[in-house]
Structure 1
Amino acid sequence: MTPVIEVTGLTKRYRETVAVDDVSFAIEKDTIYGLLGRNGAGKTTVMSILTAQNFATSGDVRVFGEHPYENARILQRMCFVRESQKYPDDATPIHAFRTAGLFFPNWNQEFADQLIDDFQLPLKTRIKKLSRGQLSAVGVIIGLAARAEITFFDEPYLGLDAVARQIFYDRLLADYSENPRTVILSSHLIDEVANLIERVLVIDRGRIIMDESTDAVRDRAANIVGDTAAVNAFVAGREVIHRETLGHVSSVTVLGALTAADREKLARSGLDVTPVSLQQLIVRTTQHAAENAASTHSAASAEEGALR
């Protein structure tokens, strides 16, 4: 695969806060990515730096092999749609779409008109008078109809209801199949976008903790459910990222693909295996990483105290 974005040692600090901490990754051409993580994890900061709307403290960013900063040739090949997008006070959706049509060389007005109808967007109402859902629709339409070679969606669809979000997902997939491009989709609605994304990038506390294909991620964990003693015996020596117990029954999430021998052992032990959804896995993984970080910090503090 051909990388369209290459990031090496990217760090962003705001005084004492490290928003992005020495991350390196590559974004491949014509792939839908899920950039996932908790609020404040660093997702928006990363996207802002990649689109030259923010500056790195250190590290290197290349888009199509070039630095994106003050590089109009590169910037017009990217579209960044964010929830907090600002527009002039007197602007209407018509103005926003006309401006987008002038800036993005692959802009498709016919597709934009179809999306306007799909989202039932009032074109002559000033944008500042639109509902949150209608404002989200403006961003989604620009992001889709621009057909930029790289498109970033930073949760611009949060104001859309379930029906409108499904329209967005359907139109994105259908147009992507006919007009491939690279899409980076940041979302808290992980289960909703799980079937859209081909590769998962998870950022937690400013660091990349997962960079894998979606298929590989789905196979990397399992829930083991049954009698607590039998569950404990099976998971001994495995990496446990979550545990719940009620009475004599436990549900334990373990990392690592299960082999045929594992499944035979589970069957003999009377234990059940349930799949881990992408959302569950990411939530459990980030919780596990936070617990490990807290444990490491506590151990370091105790050691420091003992040396004094």
Structure 2
Amino acid sequence: MTAVVEVSRLTKSYRDVTAVDDVSFAIEAGKIYGLLGRNGAGKTTLMQMITAQAFPTSGELRVFGESPFENNRVLSRICFIKESQKYPDNYRVADVLDLCSDLFPNWDRDFADRLVEVFRLPPKRQMRKLSRGMLSSVGIVAGLASRAPLTIFDEPYLGLDAASRSLFYELLVEDYAEHPRTVILSTHLIDEVSRILEHVIVINDGRVLIDEETDSLRNRAFTVSGATADVEAFAKGKTVLHRETLGGLASAIVVGNPGADDRQLARSLRLELDNVPLQQLIVHLTSRKSYGKEAKA
């Protein structure tokens, strides 16, 4: 598979703060990636370097096989929708879309116009008079209709209600199926997007903690629940990421993929085994008790 983004030992420091610390990974063409992590983990800094808005302190960065800095061949193939995109005060929604048609070679104006109707945007209203949700909708329209080979959304749905966010995910998947490209979603709403992510990169304290196919990541752990004593008996000798108790009941997140012996033991103890929601799994893997350092039960 062709790599759209190649990062090797990339570091970005601001005086005595290292925002991105010696990270290496590759982003392949034709996939939907989740770039995930806590606030301040280094995600935005990383995206700024990929889109040539910040220079690395050290390391190597290639986008479409070239350095992105002052390189219009590369930058014309990228659409970066930022969390708090700024617009000139006098710009209207229609002006933003006109600008996009000049910036993005693959811009689909008919699709953009349809999206404006779907998200009920007022084309003649000035951007500074839009609500937070409408501003996010304009970014979504620009990102989807750009049809850019590398499209990056950084928290693109602030201010949108659940129905509008769901609509965005549906439209993204539909258009991605018809017009394959590489999409990076940076978000804290992990469970909402987990069903559409094909690969997950988790940044924690400026470092890559997880770089894995989503299905593989889901198999990293499972939940066992039932009577407290039985859960403890099941978890004995296993690596446990998290425990919860309520009265005489308990649940535990256990590292690994349950095998036949585990399932037989769970049945004999009348325990339930289940998948761990992706967001919950990532939260525990990126907690201060880092993966691999949890106590044995």
Within a 5 Å distance, the mapping from 1:181-192 to structure 2 comes to 181-192=181-192
- Give the equivalent residue in structure 2 for 1:84: 84
- Give the equivalent residue in structure 1 for 2:24: 24
- Report the Cα distance in structure 1 between the residues aligned to 2:118 and 2:99, rounded to whole angstroms: 21
Aligned-pair distance for 1:160?
1.3
Within a 5 Å distance, the mapping from 1:187-206 to structure 2 comes to 187-206=187-206
Aligned-pair distance for 1:157?
1.1
- Report the Cα distance in structure 1 between the residues aligned to 2:147 and 2:290, rounded to whole angstroms: 42
Within a 5 Å distance, the mapping from 1:107-146 to structure 2 comes to 107-146=107-146
Letter of the 1:102 counterpart: D
- Give the equivalent residue in structure 2 for 1:291: 289
- Report the Cα distance in structure 2 between the residues aligned to 1:233 and 1:12, rounded to whole angstroms: 46
- Report the Cα distance in structure 1 between the residues aligned to 2:221 and 2:250, rounded to whole angstroms: 16
Aligned-pair distance for 1:231?
2.1
- Give the equivalent residue in structure 2 for 1:40: 40
Q: Secondary structure at the match of 1:291?
A: coil
Stretch moving more, 225-234 or 50-59: 225-234
Letter of the 1:84 counterpart: S
- Give the equivalent residue in structure 2 for 1:305: none
- Report the Cα distance in structure 2 between the residues aligned to 1:70 and 1:76, rounded to whole angstroms: 11
Equivalent residues of 1:118, 1:167 under 8 A apart? no
Aligned-pair distance for 1:280?
1.1
- Report the Cα distance in structure 1 between the residues aligned to 2:23 and 2:248, rounded to whole angstroms: 43
- Give the equivalent residue in structure 2 for 1:299: none
- Report the Cα distance in structure 2 between the residues aligned to 1:94 and 1:242, rounded to whole angstroms: 50
Stretch moving more, 107-116 or 220-229: 220-229
- Report the Cα distance in structure 2 between the residues aligned to 1:196 and 1:263, rounded to whole angstroms: 29
- Report the Cα distance in structure 2 between the residues aligned to 1:17 and 1:174, rounded to whole angstroms: 41
Residue-by-residue CA offset, 1:86-141 (whole Å, 9 max, x unaligned): 11111111111111101110000000000000011011111011111111111111
Aligned-pair distance for 1:65?
0.8
Aligned-pair distance for 1:40?
0.9
Unaligned runs of 5+ in 1: 297-308
Letter of the 1:209 counterpart: L
Letter of the 1:182 counterpart: T
Letter of the 1:207 counterpart: R
- Give the equivalent residue in structure 2 for 1:13: 13
- Report the Cα distance in structure 1 between the residues aligned to 2:133 and 2:290, rounded to whole angstroms: 39
Stretch moving more, 178-187 or 276-285: 276-285
Unaligned runs of 5+ in 2: none
- Give the equivalent residue in structure 2 for 1:229: 229
Stretch moving more, 150-159 or 236-245: 236-245
- Report the Cα distance in structure 2 between the residues aligned to 1:192 and 1:282, rounded to whole angstroms: 14
Equivalent residues of 1:150, 1:181 under 8 A apart? yes
Residue-by-residue CA offset, 1:240-270 (whole Å, 9 max, x unaligned): 1111123333211011111111111111122
Letter of the 2:109 counterpart: Q
Letter of the 1:268 counterpart: S
Please tell me the root mean square deviation across aligned C-alpha atoms, in Å. Answer: 1.5
Aligned-pair distance for 1:227?
2.9
- Give the equivalent residue in structure 2 for 1:208: 208
Q: Determine whether 1:243 maps to 2:243.
A: yes
- Report the Cα distance in structure 1 between the residues aligned to 2:164 and 2:51, rounded to whole angstroms: 27
Aligned-pair distance for 1:14?
1.5
Change (3 A) 1:247 1:161: closer
- Report the Cα distance in structure 2 between the residues aligned to 1:292 and 1:149, rounded to whole angstroms: 35
- Give the equivalent residue in structure 2 for 1:301: none
Letter of the 1:243 counterpart: R
Residue-by-residue CA offset, 1:253-303 (whole Å, 9 max, x unaligned): 01111111111111112222122111111111112xx1249x99xxxxxxx
Aligned-pair distance for 1:193?
0.7
Structure having the larger proportion of residues in helix: 1
- Give the equivalent residue in structure 2 for 1:262: 262
Letter of the 1:116 counterpart: V
Give the TM-score of the pair, scaled to structure 1.
0.92
Give the TM-score of the pair, scaled to structure 2.
0.95
Percent identity reads 55
Aligned-pair distance for 1:42?
1.0
Q: How many residues align?
A: 293
Aligned-pair distance for 1:84?
1.0
- Give the equivalent residue in structure 1 for 2:160: 160
- Report the Cα distance in structure 1 between the residues aligned to 2:272 and 2:47, rounded to whole angstroms: 41
Letter of the 1:12 counterpart: K
Residue-by-residue CA offset, 1:187-229 (whole Å, 9 max, x unaligned): 1111111111111111111111111111112222111112333
